[in-house]
Amino acid sequence: MTPPTTDALTNKLSYRADIDGLRAVAVLAVIASHLPEKFLTSGFLGVDVFFAISGFVVTASLLNQRRTKLSQLYVGFLARRVKRLLPALTVCVAVTGFVVLATDPFPRHSIDTGLAALFGFANIVLFFFELDYFSPSSIFNAFTHTWSLGVEEQFYVVFPLFAWLFYFRLQNDSFKALAGAMILGGLASVTMFAWLYEEHQAAAFFLMPARIWELGIGALVFLASRRTQSAPLQRVLRRLSPFALVALIVCFFAPESYAVPATLAAVGLTGLLLATDDRSLAARLLMLPPVIYIGRISYSLYLWHWPIIALGPIVLATSLRSSALYVVVTAIAAVISFHLIEKPLRYRTWTTRRIRDIGLGVACNLVLGAVLLFAMDRTGVGSESAATTLYPPSYLPVIPSGKSHALTCALDGGSRVLKPDTVANCTVEPKPGSGMPTIWAMGDSHSGHLQGMLYELHDRLGVGVHLIETPGWSFPFEPGKEFAPRKEVFSRISRQFKPGDIVLVSRLFISRTLPHTVIEVRPWIYNVSRLAEDLAKTDVNLIITGPPPIFPYNDIRECSLEERESCGLERAAFAALVDQVMELLTQLETSNANVAVFNIFDSVCPADEEFCYPDNGSTFLYRDKDHFNSLGSQLLAEPFVDLLRSSGTLTPAK
């Protein structure tokens, strides 16, 4: 967030209470836009106001230092930032992190973002998650809001060097040099912001180079105010400032489609208010005691509001969820944080040297990061959390090693690569004496979500199981879309096929986004037919799974067992799409004696039901809109066995 308001800025510029009032306006706008009702469509512009304020106050704090060596300037500046920002942030990440691990069934993104926030690069992590700020995953990420801290902290790393090069190092015209460099850099940054917003919004939103112009506006306003003390200019600014304050508030109501001009306006208006002294009508309004107090605790308000809003739907029963409760809890947390953590530790002596203050702050965060990682590992990434009864784990531990399926039996061409022992780790022999075949499952993530069913079949019937999923890559390959690791796996396992074994393939058939449409799969079906012919030569059967339902929510955590209708799927409309797919698969089944089709949709959405739901009344059966969790998958075992028996596929391996 923003630097302390009680720093002595310069001999001429002392504490300005109206800046705290401006902080209050900014943080209230941000909170109002994040509440479930989204009271302000563009209240997120409050963050841009904070950036401009930070540029103003940080520049004042930095340029008030004596001309000195770069190392002394750097260490002194960073030590002040560490004492200002880290204590409250560290406590927030610690408390929120453990609540996430105890309650959130999918804590990975939150914990990863929180760990990054401790070291000032949450914005970079979120950028590489390729998340839009209001996408479902970011809505339930308890630390999404820390992206702005990352932007500011990266600015704090760069700006002292910038100031030293263009100000402290120079004897003459240092103000002009620094102002000129900042103007050029700001123009480049704002141009980048406007261009990236059209081409790559995530980059425009999260990355510091596209945001530095906002901090630069505040910095330039301070430079101008220090250089120019024009009474006529101040009289004009005082007359304009009430209109500027009203216009700034109007910006918070702007449609999101006007994000770029609204951002430019909000930052420019903030600059005008910063340039005006505290004798204007706007300043007097901003200096009302309640407004000043909200501004003083604005950093803690910002830190705590988002975790409370994000975790509220997960932690609280539906009847207790309300914006009023979120605001009250946020206020209580912020007051406690400010008076017991932020303010005392900021002014207390930590060590005898500033470099040690920095080291102590970093060391504390390293310890916290290690503890959170250890705790996440111990809870199996949420699989043994308090939320397990409501949200069963996405996958079961791999049999018999107990390893993580997602890390062991999924290949994506990125961090999850094919290893020498991958096939062995992901293959379970039939139970001794069962005489059962092995089911060799393969395909994209819609094969992976069948893990619970396959393990249930192994426990119940003794069948062997092999499952390696390749998210984003169907099998057999479509023309021109081969995935080398999958090709290598199939080459290895095909040598182990025995007569009577079953190859099980599953894939995405219907687009996951609205409007739903059937994906063109005819080239894939042609290759499946060829695969069936090859398998028939060795008396191996092939089963193809049809599409599951695709529910209308974006994140399963949006759903409530008390309000099932909000996440239910109207069967008739979606069944028409499923029927198109099943017609193609049935033709394939008719043409090949060793092929059977498993109609998942009819199994979980019976034809006599008007709606189907992602839960069974007490527990959710899906991990997202179209993938089963381990329990939902296990419940497919019964209809799958019926298919095996009716098709004559379940025969002892020879």
Region for residue 130 given its phi and psi (left: phi exceeds 0; alpha: psi -120 to 50; beta: otherwise): left
- pLDDT score recorded for residue 606: 94
The whole-angstrom separation of Cα 327 and Cα 308 is 9
d(CA 128, CA 150): 14
Per-residue model confidence (pLDDT) at position 380: 53
pLDDT of amino acid 385 = 47
Domain boundaries, the chain: 17-378, 407-646
Asked whether residue 261 carries a pLDDT value surpassing 60, the answer given is yes
Beta strands in 444-529, from DSSP E residues, in sequence order: 464-469, 502-506
Q: Residues 358-391: pLDDT tens digits?
A: 899 999 999 999 999 988 876 654 444 445 678 8
Q: What would the mean pLDDT of 55-67 be, rounded to a whole number?
A: 87
Whether residue 48 is predicted with pLDDT greater than 60 in this model: the reply is yes
What is the DSSP pairing of strand 541-545 with strand 502-506?
parallel
d(CA 215, CA 190): 11
Q: What is the pLDDT of residue 63?
A: 86
Contacts of 585 (CB under 8 A, 6+ apart): 525, 544, 546, 597
Instruction: State how far the Cα of 240 lies from the Cα of 246, in Å rounded to an integer.
Output: 10
Phi and psi at residue 442, to the nearest 5°: -155, 160
pLDDT band at 2 (very low <50, low <70, confident <90, very high): very low
Residue range 211-226: mean pLDDT, rounded: 94
Amino acid identity of residue 388, one-letter, is: T
> How distant is the alpha carbon of residue 206 from its chain centre?
12
Tokens of 417: 């690569």
Neighbouring CB atoms inside 10 A of 288's CB total 13
Nearest-10 crossing angle of helices 45-63, 17-34 = 150
pLDDT tens by residue, 320-372: 789 999 999 999 999 999 999 999 998 888 887 888 988 999 999 999 999 99
Positive or negative torsion for Cα 399, 401, 403, 407: negative
Q: What is the pLDDT of residue 10?
A: 39
Question: What value, to the nearest 5°, has the Cα angle with vertex 555 and ends 452 and 515?
Answer: 100
Which letter does DSSP use for residue 141 in this model?
-
> If DSSP codes are grouped into helix, strand and coil, which group holds residue 211?
coil
- Residue 318: predicted pLDDT: 72
Q: Give the C-alpha distances (Å, rounded to integers) separating 259 from 139, 214, 256.
A: 19, 14, 5
At residue 167, the pLDDT reads: 86
pLDDT band at 561 (very low <50, low <70, confident <90, very high): confident
- What pLDDT band is residue 131 in, cutting at 50, 70 and 90? low
Cα 494 to chain centroid, rounded: 39
Identify the helix (H) or strand (E) that includes residue 492.
helix 484-494
Task: Report the candidate in 89, 4, 13 with the shortest Cα–Cα distance to residue 54.
Answer: 4
Please report, in angstroms and rounded to a whole number, the separation of the first and last CA atoms in the chain: 68
Helix axes 289-296, 17-34, angle to 10 degrees: 70
For 587-596, the pLDDT digits (tens) are 999 999 999 9
Q: For the residues of 301-344, what is the DSSP string, one character each? A: HHHHHHHHHHHHHHHS-GGG--HHHHHHHHHHHHHHHIIIIIHH
What 3-state class would DSSP assign to 99?
A: helix
Q: Report whether pLDDT(401) > 70.
A: yes
DSSP state for residue 567 in the 8-state scheme: G
Q: Which residues, including other chains, have CB under 8 Å from residue 646's CB and lie 6 or more apart?
A: none
- Is the domain covering 407-646 a CATH 3.40.50.1110 domain? yes
Q: Say which DSSP state 649 is in.
A: -
User: Which residues lie across from 540 on neighbouring strands?
Assistant: none
pLDDT at 156 over 70: yes
Mean pLDDT of 467-475: 95
* Banded pLDDT at 89 (limits 50, 70, 90): very high
Instruction: Report the alpha-carbon distance of residue 8 to residue 14 in Å, rounded.
Output: 5
> Do residues 376 and 101 make contact, with C-beta atoms less than 8 angstroms apart?
yes
pLDDT for position 467 = 98
Q: For residues 74 and 134, is the Cβ–Cβ distance under 8 A?
A: no
pLDDT band for 6, please (50, 70, 90 cuts): very low
Q: Return mean pLDDT, the chain.
A: 91
Q: DSSP characters for 188-205?
A: HHHHHHHHHHHH-HHHHH
Distance CA 267, CA 546 (A): 53
